[in-house]
A and B are shown apart, each in its own frame.
Chain A
Amino acid sequence: MLDSLLSLAIWTPIVAGVLILATGGDSNRDGQRTLALIGALLGFLVTLPLWSGFDAKSAAMQFEEIAPWLPAFNVRYHLGVDGISMPFILLNSFTTLLVVIAGWEVIQDKVGQYMAAFLIQSGLINGVFASLDGVLFYVFFEAMLIPLYLIIGMWGGPNRVYAAIKFFLYTLLGSLMMLVAMVYLFFQSGGSFEILVWHKTALTMTAQLLLFGAFFFAFAVKVPMWPVHTWLPDAHVEAPTGGSVVLAAITLKVGAYGFLRFTLPIVPDAAHELTWLIVTLSLIAVVYIGLVALVQADMKKLIAYSSIAHMGFVTLGFFLFNPLGVEGGLVQMISHGFISAAMFLCVGVMYDRVHSRQIADYGGVVNTMPRFAAFFMLFAMANSGLPATSGFVGEFMVVLGAVKVNFWWAALAATTLIFGAAYTLWMVKRVVFGPVANTHVAEMKDINSREFTVLLLLAVCVLGMGLYPAPVTDVMHTSVNHLLQHVAHSKLAY
């Protein structure tokens, strides 16, 4: 049982999803919802032993599973996690649980397919984080596009078709480049698709730069980094609330994770060589996208841009090549997972009542929904990086890490604390405070117990991580140091 924890984490939700599909159409909505809840809960429970049984002192891969899968190409079903990937499996399974609860009443059309899509997607994403074989990684990496494509396209807003296709093609472009890179690495490493073997494969500078380009394409689109971010605001705006939550909380993290698992250790010399590029793009994301967020009239779009800015922090942290930076980036990823999920859920709560995402359509929500307003305020504070929330920890670590490398980088990065506060709090001010703006707002009912539970869970995570982040950083510490030692050594071949 303990030997196949990762397989369980991957397959439990997928099997649950397929079972839900097998129950048929909309005649059995409640059964499907219950089944989805059971599946998501089970899926979350099987990931808990990953945390409790994890040996934080070891940088080696843990909970490994190896089985031949496609011997013709030497592809293996090789799973394993280290301190970098393990937290994301938990985060993903947790988010799926929230999404299932959040979509309980909101989704009335094709409930079974909705729930199944999220559960299958959850299993596939766990597969992405657990794969140690290149092809296996690629299979999960690309397969997860399919459920999300359907989620955006089937339950999204008016312009959903455009957004779904744009999202799909954009990300596919990146991943196809990566596929060629992987096949190339297969031959360079003497016939292996093992990611850990690739870490040790010596490569020439030209090869490293080309591979860097291919991986950069794949992951930068997913993160997304400026200037390949344009699919994200469209996708977010059109996606249903659950889709936005998963997109922001998890799929963006896959891109950043790729940098740590592929780019840095496989092509370290190219990574050092091109640090300027990543840092520049990250800082542009932080500063420029922060300004763009400021002028958004659509709440979802605003949060989408804020996500891009926050992810800029993550990539900046990774390319500082010091423990504070990388760990800060990872903490930021997890924290952003909670906060962005919460923000999108909050917008979803309002959207369900008023059916508008425009800031201008709201005002004085606190008068009609005081409990909700309190939550919204808390998450907004966290989004702007208030100390004692999780948003602060990661940003602070990255800024500290950046100061060690280059003061001006740190100075520019720190502007996010200003811009972040400006666009988030200004939005909250316009939406939540002031007199009741119109009859719609006057008719809004405060959150029910289901919404309360979801938001409370997230609030606990946000505050818990903000007050005491040590459990998270402890898990990562050894793995991050190991990675940085590896990256510090050149593996150039001549």
Chain B
Amino acid sequence: MTFSMPDLAPALPEIFVLGMACAVLLLDVITRNMRMTYVLTLLTLAGAAFFTAFTAQPEMRLTFGGQFVDDAMGDLLKLMAYFATFAVAVYSRTYLEERGLLRGEYLVLMLLALLGMMVMISANHFLVLYVGLELLSLSLYAMVAFNRESPVAVEAAMKYFILGALASGLLLYGMSLLYGLTGTLELPRLAEAVHAGVKDQMILAFGLVFLVAGLGFKLGAAPFHMWVPDIYQGAPAAVTLFIGSAPKLAAFAFTMRLLVDGLAPATGDWQGMLAVMAVMSLAIGNLAAIMQTNIKRMLAYSTISHMGFLLLGVLSGTFAGYTAALYYAITYVLMSLGGFGLVVYLSQNGVEAEHLDDYKGLNTTHPWLAALMAILMFSMAGLPPFVGFYAKLSILQALVGAGWLWLAVVAVFFSLIGAFYYLRVVKLLYFDAPKAEMPVYTSTPDAQALLSANGVAVLALGILPQPLFTVCITAMQATLQ
């Protein structure tokens, strides 16, 4: 048996991030200089972006014996993941510092979670997919529990770990069923095998059910959403910000790789399951969000409903649908970064801005922050001229184009319900008088500048939506050629 060196070029960004994560860890142990490790983390993200953009090629490249794929969709998602991680680091720096959580390990965990996402995004093989997923999940469990003095956070981490492990088990079980059926773990070969016809449709269906259930867990789609509100609420706001943003990109890639790359011939089988999950997510997410008084919990339910929308794009089973879902994933991450970012930003000087009441009258005291929050809320509600509207429009268009008119009507109906709780936040910001003892917010220039850019981008991409669409369409074309 000869060993030939695989082509490492397509995996350059991953290798770089891994190397830098180790460097940050070492540096932290040796110097204990927080400023240096923090800056190095940011530089790592910038460097990874450079490598990804630099090595990007229009055609798809396989390496590691076809287990690893580097394609346009992956590059786009990775770039967005770097940006999200970068933003998370900037938004949460003061929050973490204040609570004594900004330690080298935290940054290392963040980089490793990012690495896990990158591997998931580029996986072309069940095992690689699984390894990436576990790397991401384990890092996140540790991050949730990072504030070990907070019983709530530790409880959340425990819940997250147990439910996450269960989901991983389901996934593995589904994978093993499919492996038994087709004899391969490679996604393209799996597609060929299923296409050629399998001996036992029942096993295929069973495997698929387990896979979709595991996927539902990771996406946080109903009826596998139970962990989402508890974890979002229990974790430190900075970690919630992280969990709520970048991993969604990986989860989307995961869905695309599994269902579209690997199980395209069984589209008819998983479409029905996704339809049920999507409708349930929309219903539960939007209805439950109305009753929340904690903004983290409310945004958690809103995430569930957004994942429902994203699934609608995937299940339409057309190119337009996949593009719409990609667009949705990217814009959702942008909005979620801004939304949770503001929660983190306002949680300072010993205050946790968790309750909806903490946002009362923000317009009177901090008009610009209130305006940013309002933009994000209106955008999440899917109102024009914000980017969330085009995300929803493209999904609706894909659904109607694929003949799922009734699903489009259902989606629109729940959007209306969803509008209520976003409007309620705007109401608190603008209509209510500030509380008597309003906390004083110290302004952090870097976080505020990035938050402003984030909010303005949500508006600007809504006024000029074409560029991002072009990017998504090109990426999807290159991937699904």
Interface residues of B in 373-425 (CB under 8 A from A): 378, 383-385, 389-390, 393-394, 396-397, 400-401, 405, 408-409, 412-413, 415-416, 419-420, 423-424
- 0 or 1 for each of A150-166: is its CB under 8 Å from B? (1 = yes): 10011000001100110
Q: Verify B400–A168 contact, CB threshold 8 A.
A: no
Q: Verify B430–A165 contact, CB threshold 8 A.
A: no
Q: Verify B431–A153 contact, CB threshold 8 A.
A: yes
CA A168 – CA B413 in complex, angstroms? 15
Interface residues of A in 209-247 (CB under 8 A from B): none
Q: Verify A169–B420 contact, CB threshold 8 A.
A: yes
Residues of A within 8 A of B150 (CB): none
CA A306 – CA B415 in complex, angstroms? 33
Q: Verify B466–A143 contact, CB threshold 8 A.
A: no
Residues of A within 8 A of B397 (CB): 73, 183, 186
Nearest to B323 among chain A residues (CB) is A72
> Nearest chain A CB to B108's CB is how many angstroms away?
40
> Nearest chain B CB to A484's CB is how many angstroms away?
31
CA A179 – CA B393 in complex, angstroms? 8
A73-B394, A187-B401 known; A180 vs B409 contact (CB < 8 Å): yes
A177 located at the interface, meaning its Cβ lies under 8 Å from any Cβ of chain B in the complex: yes
Q: Verify B430–A177 contact, CB threshold 8 A.
A: no
Q: Verify A165–B423 contact, CB threshold 8 A.
A: yes
Top 3 A-B pairs, shortest CB-CB distance: A139-B384, A72-B469, A153-B431
B465 located at the interface, meaning its Cβ lies under 8 Å from any Cβ of chain A in the complex: yes
B473 located at the interface, meaning its Cβ lies under 8 Å from any Cβ of chain A in the complex: yes
Which of the residues A70, A138, A169 comes within 8 Å of B469, measured between beta carbons?
A70
A284 located at the interface, meaning its Cβ lies under 8 Å from any Cβ of chain B in the complex: no
Q: Verify B416–A169 contact, CB threshold 8 A.
A: yes
B367 located at the interface, meaning its Cβ lies under 8 Å from any Cβ of chain A in the complex: yes
- 0 or 1 for each of B424-459: is its CB under 8 Å from A? (1 = yes): 101100110000000000000000000000000000
Q: Verify A165–B412 contact, CB threshold 8 A.
A: no
CA A348 – CA B12 in complex, angstroms? 69
Which of the residues A142, A183, A186 comes within 8 Å of B383, measured between beta carbons?
A142
> Nearest chain A CB to B436's CB is how many angstroms away?
18
Q: Verify B431–A154 contact, CB threshold 8 A.
A: yes
Which of the residues B385, B413, B415, B419 comes within 8 Å of A143, measured between beta carbons?
B385
B57 located at the interface, meaning its Cβ lies under 8 Å from any Cβ of chain A in the complex: no
A146 located at the interface, meaning its Cβ lies under 8 Å from any Cβ of chain B in the complex: yes
B33 located at the interface, meaning its Cβ lies under 8 Å from any Cβ of chain A in the complex: no
CA A168 – CA B423 in complex, angstroms? 9
Nearest to B472 among chain A residues (CB) is A72
A172 located at the interface, meaning its Cβ lies under 8 Å from any Cβ of chain B in the complex: yes
B293 located at the interface, meaning its Cβ lies under 8 Å from any Cβ of chain A in the complex: no
CA A164 – CA B431 in complex, angstroms? 10
A70-B390, A164-B427, A184-B405 known; A172 vs B416 contact (CB < 8 Å): yes
Residues on B lying within 8 angstroms of A by beta carbon are: 363, 367, 378, 383-385, 389-390, 393-394, 396-397, 400-401, 405, 408-409, 412-413, 415-416, 419-420, 423-424, 426-427, 430-431, 465-466, 469-470, 473
CA A68 – CA B464 in complex, angstroms? 11
CA A176 – CA B470 in complex, angstroms? 26
Q: Verify B396–A179 contact, CB threshold 8 A.
A: yes
Interface residues of A in 119-161 (CB under 8 A from B): 135, 138-140, 142-143, 145-146, 149-150, 153-154, 160-161
A434 located at the interface, meaning its Cβ lies under 8 Å from any Cβ of chain B in the complex: no
A31 located at the interface, meaning its Cβ lies under 8 Å from any Cβ of chain B in the complex: no
Nearest to A185 among chain B residues (CB) is B400
CA A51 – CA B189 in complex, angstroms? 67
Which of the residues A25, A140, A153, A186 comes within 8 Å of B430, measured between beta carbons?
A153
Q: Which of B420, B424, B431, B466 has the most CB of A within 10 A?
A: B431
Q: Verify A71–B393 contact, CB threshold 8 A.
A: no
Q: Verify A153–B427 contact, CB threshold 8 A.
A: yes
Nearest to A150 among chain B residues (CB) is B430
Residues of B within 8 A of A160 (CB): 431
Residues of A within 8 A of B390 (CB): 70
> Nearest chain A CB to B90's CB is how many angstroms away?
25
Residues of A within 8 A of B409 (CB): 180
A360 located at the interface, meaning its Cβ lies under 8 Å from any Cβ of chain B in the complex: no
Q: Verify B408–A183 contact, CB threshold 8 A.
A: yes
Q: Verify B400–A183 contact, CB threshold 8 A.
A: yes
> Nearest chain A CB to B409's CB is how many angstroms away?
6
Residues of B within 8 A of A180 (CB): 396, 400, 405, 408-409, 412
Report the interface size for chain A: residues with CB under 8 A from the other chain: 37
Q: Verify A161–B431 contact, CB threshold 8 A.
A: yes
A173 located at the interface, meaning its Cβ lies under 8 Å from any Cβ of chain B in the complex: yes
CA A173 – CA B389 in complex, angstroms? 15
Residues of A within 8 A of B416 (CB): 169, 172-173, 176
Q: Verify B383–A72 contact, CB threshold 8 A.
A: no
Q: 27 A-B residue contacts at CB 8 Å?
A: A69-B466, A70-B390, A70-B466, A70-B469, A72-B394, A72-B473, A110-B363, A142-B384, A142-B389, A143-B383, A143-B385, A146-B383, A149-B423, A153-B427, A153-B430, A164-B427, A165-B420, A165-B424, A165-B427, A169-B416, A169-B419, A176-B415, A179-B393, A179-B396, A180-B409, A180-B412, A187-B401
CA A185 – CA B394 in complex, angstroms? 15
CA A22 – CA B323 in complex, angstroms? 37
Q: Verify B400–A70 contact, CB threshold 8 A.
A: no
CA A138 – CA B266 in complex, angstroms? 37
- 0 or 1 for each of A466-477: is its CB under 8 Å from B? (1 = yes): 000000000000
Residues of B within 8 A of A172 (CB): 416, 419
> Nearest chain B CB to A427's CB is how many angstroms away?
30
Nearest to A73 among chain B residues (CB) is B397
Q: Verify B465–A70 contact, CB threshold 8 A.
A: yes
Q: Verify B389–A183 contact, CB threshold 8 A.
A: no
Q: Verify A139–B385 contact, CB threshold 8 A.
A: yes
Residues of A within 8 A of B389 (CB): 139, 142
CA A154 – CA B426 in complex, angstroms? 11
> In the complex, given contacts A72-B470, A73-B393, A183-B396, what are 16 additional A-B residue pairs having Cβ atoms less than 8 angstroms apart?
A25-B367, A69-B466, A72-B466, A72-B473, A135-B393, A142-B383, A149-B426, A154-B430, A164-B427, A165-B427, A176-B413, A176-B415, A177-B412, A184-B400, A186-B397, A186-B400
CA A186 – CA B405 in complex, angstroms? 13
CA A352 – CA B151 in complex, angstroms? 55
Nearest to B381 among chain A residues (CB) is A172
CA A77 – CA B408 in complex, angstroms? 25
Q: Which of A135, A145, A176 has the most CB of B within 10 A?
A: A176
CA A164 – CA B420 in complex, angstroms? 11
CA A149 – CA B430 in complex, angstroms? 10
> Nearest chain B CB to A96's CB is how many angstroms away?
19
